[in-house]
Structure 1
Amino acid sequence: MSTYLPKEVQDGLDAARLAALKKSSRLRVLVDDEVYRVLRMWKDGFAVEEGITPKLRGLVDLYDGTNHLYQCLIIAAEAEAGEMCYEFKRSTVAADKAPLDFYRAPDAPVALLASDAM
């Protein structure tokens, strides 16, 4: 049995796979105020559609819908089957507030009331 597929059949299978990935993924990458759909993501990188997305490089932000997940420094890895794969040089989890530079006790008061307010 041969595993050879004609080019037209392989192109059709790749197009169907890309369409399914586009429908199922909520991930987005933000670069210079432009948003591109991420087809899939793994521990060390992510993939976008090769024909639509320009060559990306440098600092990007990854979102799941409207939730900011990561700020990443990326480099292009390789193109395969209609996808452009990128690898993370650095990936930092996004936080909604600045990190503290001191220890905050769990039972610490949230605010102090002035004595003249009572």
Structure 2
Amino acid sequence: MTTFLPKEVQAGLDAARKKDQKRNSRMLVEADGQTYRVLRFWETGFALDADSAPHLRGFVDLFDRGEHLYQCLILASEEEAGEMCYEFKRLTAIHGKPPADFVQEDHEVIALLGHQS
């Protein structure tokens, strides 16, 4: 039994796989005011569709369903199987509030005392 597929069939399967990855992906990368859908994300990088993604380099922002997750310094590493892969040089998580430069004490309100007459 052979595993040879005609070029047209292989191209159709690759296009269907890309379309499914784009539909299921929730992450977006924003660079220079443009947004691109992330096909795959891993610890040291991510991949975009090679047809629509430029060779990005520098600072970009990663979002997951509109939530700003990371600010990254990236460079384009390689193109394989219709995906443009990028590697992180720096990956910084975004926090909801600015960092404090002092220790904050935990002063939680335990109970409220009412005014007694």
Q: Same fold (TM over 0.5)?
A: yes
Matches within 5 A, 1:12-31: 12-31=12-31
Distance in 2 between the 1:8 and 1:46 partners? 28
Quote the residue 1:100 is aligned against: 100
Distance in 1 between the 2:55 and 2:64 partners? 21
Secondary structure in 1 matching 2:8? helix
Whichever residue aligns with residue 102 of structure 2, its letter is F
Distance in 2 between the 1:32 and 1:57 partners? 10
Quote the residue 1:114 is aligned against: none
Q: Displacement of 1:79 after TM fit?
A: 0.8
- Answer with 61-70 or 97-106: which moved more: 97-106
Deviations 1:83-116 (A, max 9, x none): 101111110001122111111011278xxxxxxx
- Answer with 81-90 or 4-13: which moved more: 4-13
Quote the residue 1:8 is aligned against: 8
Quote the residue 1:43 is aligned against: 43
Quote the residue 2:79 is aligned against: 79
**Cα RMSD, aligned residues only:** 1.4
Q: Displacement of 1:77 after TM fit?
A: 1.4
Deviations 1:25-72 (A, max 9, x none): 110001011111111101111111111121111100000021000000
Identity of paired residues, percent? 56
Quote the residue 1:113 is aligned against: none
- Segments of structure 2 that go 5 or more residues without pairing to the other structure are 110-117
Quote the residue 1:91 is aligned against: 91
Q: Displacement of 1:3 after TM fit?
A: 2.5
Distance in 1 between the 2:66 and 2:8 partners? 38
- Segments of structure 1 that go 5 or more residues without pairing to the other structure are 110-118
TM-score, normalised by the number of residues in structure 2 = 0.87
Distance in 2 between the 1:102 and 1:108 partners? 18
TM-score, normalised by the number of residues in structure 1 = 0.86
